[in-house]
Amino acid sequence: METKMAITAADVNKLRQQTGAGMMDCKKALEEAQGDFEQAIDFLRKKGQKVAANRQDREAKDGLVIASINADAKHGSLILVSCETDFVAKNQDFVDFANTVSKISIDKKPASLDAFKALPYNNEITVNDKFIEQIGKIGEKIELGYYQTVDAAHVIAYNHPGNRLACVVGFNKAVSEEVAKNVAMQVAAMAPVAVDKEDVDTKTLERELDVAREQVRAEGKPEDMVEKIAQGKLNKFYKEFTLLNQEFIKDNKMDIRKYLQSVEKDLTVTAFKRYQLG
């Protein structure tokens, strides 16, 4: 006989805050998903419950997200230096430390998070050991929780005030500061999951189609219409969550692709990275 795992009130509350769904719906979703939050969110979506959980943002309690670019604006990095409390995140020593770590990422261009941690922080200590030293000094868990880069003909870094949200965006050619900032702010505000339709990973596509099929069936549509309608819902997903197909937040009469083409015919975005705390 299958037994359902015990779901705590804290788990239910966390899912409520992420999705906006009702308490009992969240409890049932977590029970069905055996405590897996991603599966619970999908369960709620399939049942048509309100879900405000962002697809891309990772969970982190507090800290600073910092986007930086190098001198020739062809390389950008995005890092998270996390801590436990807002009090520490606003401390000037912590801010200075996080900015130093960001500068190392730009200067040394490590190939991975592990390679980054193994780099020298100074002549005496590695980045990883410096984090351990800071834990002893501050008394909170502090870690380098995220690191990604973008290389392109032109890269812009955007840091939202407060450093809880930041992004780096790469273009295929040099672009004005105004245009670059407009697109970076689009990425920050609208949280796309990919640059264009073909850049969405297979797992995400299958997940969206699975949810769409269940939604269509729940609406009572005949089975031979399910796949066609689900594909139509996928087109809506592309418009909402792929950057070049999103409505431009400053002019909803055009999408980002058309906005860039209005600036220069072959101008486009080649890559972006975005991270948000919370």
In sequence order, which residues have a C-beta less than 8 Å from that of residue 236 and are 6 or more positions away?
none
Amino acid at 9: A
Quote the mean pLDDT of the chain. 89
Gap between the Cα atoms of 248 and 192, Å rounded: 12
CATH topology classification for 1-53: Helicase, Ruva Protein; domain 3 (1.10.8)
Domain ranges in the chain with CATH number 1.10.8.10: 1-53
Q: What is the mean pLDDT of residues 46-50?
A: 64
Contact 13, 30 (CB under 8 A): no
pLDDT greater than 50 at residue 1:
no
> Of 1-10, 54-63, 212-221, 269-278, which range is least confident?
54-63
Amino acid at 57: D
pLDDT greater than 90 at residue 220:
no
CATH topology classification for 62-167: Tetrahydropterin Synthase; Chain A (3.30.479)
Long-range Cβ contact pairs of 218-227 (< 8 A, separation 24 or more): 218/46, 218/47, 218/48
Gap between the Cα atoms of 160 and 178, Å rounded: 16
pLDDT at 54: 42
Amino acid at 120: P
Domain ranges in the chain with CATH number 3.30.479.20: 62-167
> Strand 251-255 to strand 269-276: parallel, antiparallel, or no bridges (unpaired)?
unpaired
pLDDT higher at 35 or 79: 79
Phi, psi (deg, nearest 5) at residue 128 = -60, -45
Confidence grade of residue 148 (pLDDT, cut at 50, 70, 90): very high
Question: Residue 81: in which H helix or E strand, if any?
Answer: strand 75-83
> Strand 154-159 to strand 143-151: parallel, antiparallel, or no bridges (unpaired)?
unpaired
Sheet with 165-171, edge to edge strand ranges? 154-159, 165-171, 269-276
